[in-house]
Copies of this chain bind each other. A is one copy, B any other.
Amino acid sequence: MTTSTGLLIADLVGVAVFAASGASAAVAKRLDLFGVAFVGFVAALGGGIFRDLAIGEVPPLAFGDWRYAATAAITAGAVFWLHPQLARLRTTVLLLDAAGLALFTVTGTLKALDAQVPAVGACVIGMLSGIGGGLGRDLLTGEIPVVLRREIYAVAALAGAVVVAVLQRVGQAGPAPIAAAAVLIFVVRVVALRRRWAVPVATLRPPRTQDPGPDPR
């Protein structure tokens, strides 16, 4: 599979912003230099490793191309020394995460389509490789995964993935339309954060008898 320069740049920028997102979250948890580097590393490379395994790209680019690991390590280190103060860290994590979500969803969908994965599956792979980095970051730092919080997240990625698949189907998958799809994901996600766009929660009547709750073990 040939990786165009544009796709490589988008992938590396995605690696950088997810590394910064993971490193920021680790700084907020008072982890040390190596903990910050490791969380940044997992957040930056996890989504791409999953994507490459799913499409049969072996070894995953995160291992086959040294620039991926170098980008992640340098960015995480930079955050360790140059990070914003605590009050702005949460916002920083979420904004960088939105950028990474947008970039990785678009590159993931394109790479899956390139690998002859059918359109539906390619959109799912794109969405999952966009989500994966944030999920790894949140699981490692003991936070509720961002994909499960109230503001819409996964569906913003899925919408962008569908746009990319449609563009590719109609032969319009040039750099500008593809970049527009990434911007769409980012904007939808950031607006959802600011306006707390959410969808309904399933209605549950309170139990009449006391629910014993989950198994204590």
Contacts and interface: CB of A to CB of B under 8 A. Distances in A.
A80 interface: yes
Nearest to A25: B214
Interface string A115-129: 101101110110000
A217 B59 contact: no
A27 to B, nearest CB: 5
Nearest to A139: B139
A30 B203 CA distance: 8
A33 to B, nearest CB: 4
Given A121-B62, A121-B69, A214-B90, A30 B204 contact: yes
Contact of A144 (B85, B211, B215): B215
Interface in A55-87: 55-56, 58-60, 62-66, 69-70, 80-81, 83, 85-87
Nearest to A151: B215
B121 A66 contact: yes
Contacts of A208: 87
A77 to B, nearest CB: 11
A195 interface: no
A64 to B, nearest CB: 6
Interface stretch (A10-18, A35-43, A98-106, A167-175): A35-43
Interface string A192-206: 000000111110111
